Amino acid sequence: MKLMPWTSRGTAADAYATAVGRELRDLRREPRRRLITDLRSHLAELPSGSDLATVLGPPQQYADDLRVSRGIAPPRGWGRIRRVRLRVWIAVLFALSTVIVGTVGGIWISRYQPLERGSFSNLPGAEGDRAFGATNVVVDYQQGATYQFNFSLRNSGGVAVDVVHIPLQQLLDFPIVFEEVRLEQPGKYCCAGDAVPFQPFTLNPGEERGLVFRGVLSHCQSFTNGAYSTIESLEVDFRVLGITKSQQVMLPQPIAVRMPGTGTPQCPLPRRPQEGPPNGTGSDTLYVLSGGTALVVQAIAPVPGSGDLARASWTRSTSCSDSPPPGLTAVPVDLIVSRNFGSAGAKNSPVPVDLHFAMDNSANPGAVILAQPESPAHCIRSGPFHIEQLDNGDMYVMHGVAELQTGTCGAQMIKVDANGQSAGDVRLDVACPPGVTPPPLP
Amino acid sequence: MLRTQLLKGVLDIAVLAILDEEPSYGYAILTRLEESGLHDVGDASVYGTLRRLEDVGHLRSQMVSSESGPPRRYFSLTPTGRAALEAGAVEWGELQDALATLLDGRDGRGR
């Protein structure tokens, strides 16, 4: 029988004996050392030609057989645990560490709210009552008046954040319709003379940046004479460590709008923020098709000096034949207010659009409806639409920013669940379908 | 599984019997067991049995140089090992007879 050279066989035997020794780590040191030393010489006697693990089986099995034949008790308790290979323990510890770090990091990020008002603020108005820990600024409602305020936003956290968006549509039910937020130059907190339209910016730890908010007192139909409507915070979307979050940032002072004591202010219906239709004058039309009904929306530019920002209204046309979503025939979809037209006025070119869709659930007592956009299609290229829940007899607003091409066909599929069951899709087209004639303005 | 358990019970006797023929080393003993038809005995069992029998004084060992490889540990019987073999052989004979009687009775019922 030909044997492998001693040195080669000895090396393989050493490795196998060491592996067996690892399986016997529960034994006391000296007996184990003696056992393994003898085992090396014993294994070296074996003929060459095959891998030891193949001939003798896995080291663990060998160790188990060795225990039985030598009358050694099987490992118990900690000894059994020690038999697990070191790399397995390392993998387990690494996985546990990853889970712990991930969990702690996730909790930290989920609770991370680093933004707060900074050192500067300017909120015009009369001094009012104390509320929310600060004294209200009282603004008397005056139809069409502009209201502008400034404050600086500070990053009080220890990590740089990117402020990516300040959604103004959050304040739809507030008497001040905020049209615009502008960004002060770094280091400036006053006067807004050289402020630029909002764009994402970075706030390093401890850093501040001035913001200018401009709105118009133009939304009062929901309020009774003499009533107050107050806001105390604004939503700010920011990104930290690659994760986008939202935070309600407390205003330096709550802003309370006081309605006139008598009379009914003339309130324009849905308003269009920012710029007017193409070329700043004239009108434009949106067609929203939903559930077999085309909602034809017209918007006109504000009449200079009228106090109106824009008018928009909607009517229904049945000339379009979209199938209604199953189970949702009684759910009307309403378009509250519309879009930015883009000052360049170039139709058939993508323009950002603020879309605010209201879904009225008042005709469905007991129904809970969830609406969620599916993937954008055609000309409406991006969301995100907020997911809204429509409770019993309630009306909520879906809103989001999309990009569409005016004058061309576009569609957005909106998935609707009613009472937890899929109720099909609502298709929203914003387009000018053939054969639909825009109705006259109301 | 049963065969394996039985073999473990009589492996001491088998190893002592092989070494009663002539001194030998671990791998040669394993080979001899296989030649005898005991294929289910592993190297670890033989190695462990040899060490245990040596520990209790039934075997003695010495290293013998080899021309074709490393030195080999040769095991041989001690007087107590030989006595243990004799006693084991008697016990095995008795056990075999007892078991044969039981199995014969079973065969008789079967007929």
- Write the pLDDT tens digit of every residue in A250-306: 888 888 888 776 654 443 333 333 333 323 333 444 433 333 333 333 333 334 443
The angle that helices A6-23 and A59-70 make with each other, rounded to 10 degrees, is: 70
Tokens of A391: 């409770």
Q: Which residue shows structure tokens 């358990």?
A: B5
Neighbours of B11 (CB within 10 A): 20
pLDDT at res. A381: 33
Strand partners, A287: A296
C-alpha to C-alpha distances, A175 to A48, A146, A227, A271, nearest whole angstrom: 92, 11, 11, 12
Q: How far apart are CA A76 and CA A81, in angstroms?
A: 8
pLDDT at res. A194: 78
Pick the CATH number of B2-104 from 3.10.20.30, 3.40.140.80, 2.70.40.10, 1.10.10.10: 1.10.10.10
Q: How far apart are CA A239 and CA A162, in angstroms?
A: 5
Let me know: does A436 contact A389? Beta carbons within 8 Å.
Answer: no
- What is the three-class DSSP state of A3? coil
> Looking at CA atoms only, how far is residue B13 from chain A in angstroms?
13
Tokens of B89: 């052989």
Please answer yes or no on whether B70 and A67 come within 8 Å at the CB atom. no
User: Among positive and negative, which fits the CA dihedral A263, A268, A270, A271?
Assistant: negative
Residue of B nearest to A71 (CA): B52
pLDDT at res. A318: 33
The angle that helices B43-55 and B26-35 make with each other, rounded to 10 degrees, is: 120
Is the backbone peptide bond immediately before A384 cis, with ω within 30 degrees of 0?
yes
pLDDT at res. B2: 63
Let me know: does A412 contact A380? Beta carbons within 8 Å.
Answer: yes
Q: Which residue shows structure tokens 């600024």?
A: A137
Q: Does position A406 have pLDDT exceeding 70, yes or no?
A: no
Q: What is the longest distance spanned by two Cα atoms in chain A? A: 116
pLDDT at res. A18: 85
pLDDT at res. A103: 86
- Of A292, A318, A145, nearest to A218 (Cα)? A145
What interface predicted TM-score (ipTM) does this complex get? 0.73
> Looking at CA atoms only, how far is residue B103 from chain A in angstroms?
29
pTM for the whole structure: 0.38
Please answer yes or no on whether A69 and B72 come within 8 Å at the CB atom. no
Backbone Cα Rg of chain A: 35
Q: Does position A14 have pLDDT exceeding 70, yes or no?
A: yes
> Looking at CA atoms only, how far is residue B99 from chain A in angstroms?
25
Confidence of residue A70 (pLDDT cuts 50, 70, 90): confident
Helix and strand element counts for chain B (H, E): 4, 2
Phi/psi zone of residue A67: left (φ > 0), alpha (ψ -120 to 50 degrees), beta? alpha
Let me know: does A398 contact A415? Beta carbons within 8 Å.
Answer: no
What are the residue ranges spanned by the domains of chain B? Answer: 2-104
Q: Does position A355 have pLDDT exceeding 60, yes or no?
A: no
The residue type found at A265 is P
Let me know: does A205 contact A230? Beta carbons within 8 Å.
Answer: no
- Give contacts of B42 with chain A, Cβ < 8 Å: 56-57, 62, 65
Confidence of residue A356 (pLDDT cuts 50, 70, 90): very low
pLDDT at res. A179: 73
Let me know: does A288 contact A335? Beta carbons within 8 Å.
Answer: yes
- What is the three-class DSSP state of A80? helix
Distance of CA A426 to the CA centre of its chain: 22
pLDDT at res. A440: 30
Residue of A nearest to B7 (CA): A69
Provide the percentage of residues in chain A whose pLDDT is more than 90.
5
Tokens of A430: 């914003």
Residue from the list B26, B42, B52 with its beta carbon closest to the beta carbon of A45: B26
Q: How far apart are CA A133 and CA A158, in angstroms?
A: 26
A→B contacts (Cβ < 8 Å), by residue, are 1-4, 6, 9-10, 35, 38-39, 41-42, 44-47, 55-57, 61-71
Helix (H) or strand (E) holding A20: helix A6-23
Average pLDDT for consecutive 10-residue bins of chain B (111 residues)? 69 92 89 86 85 90 78 89 93 89 71 45
Let me know: does A283 contact A300? Beta carbons within 8 Å.
Answer: yes
Residue of A nearest to B56 (CA): A70
pLDDT at res. B79: 94
- Give contacts of A3 with chain B, Cβ < 8 Å: 68-69
Q: How far apart are CA A375 and CA A383, in angstroms?
A: 9
B→A contacts (Cβ < 8 Å), by residue, are 8, 11, 25-27, 42-49, 51-52, 63, 68-73
Let me know: does A337 contact A218? Beta carbons within 8 Å.
Answer: no
Q: Which residue shows structure tokens 């993508």?
A: A350
Please answer yes or no on whether A69 and B70 come within 8 Å at the CB atom. no
Residue from the list B11, B26, B69 with its beta carbon closest to the beta carbon of A42: B26
- Of B83, B105, B104, nearest to B20 (Cα)? B83
Let me know: does A405 contact A349? Beta carbons within 8 Å.
Answer: yes
- Give contacts of A9 with chain B, Cβ < 8 Å: 69-70
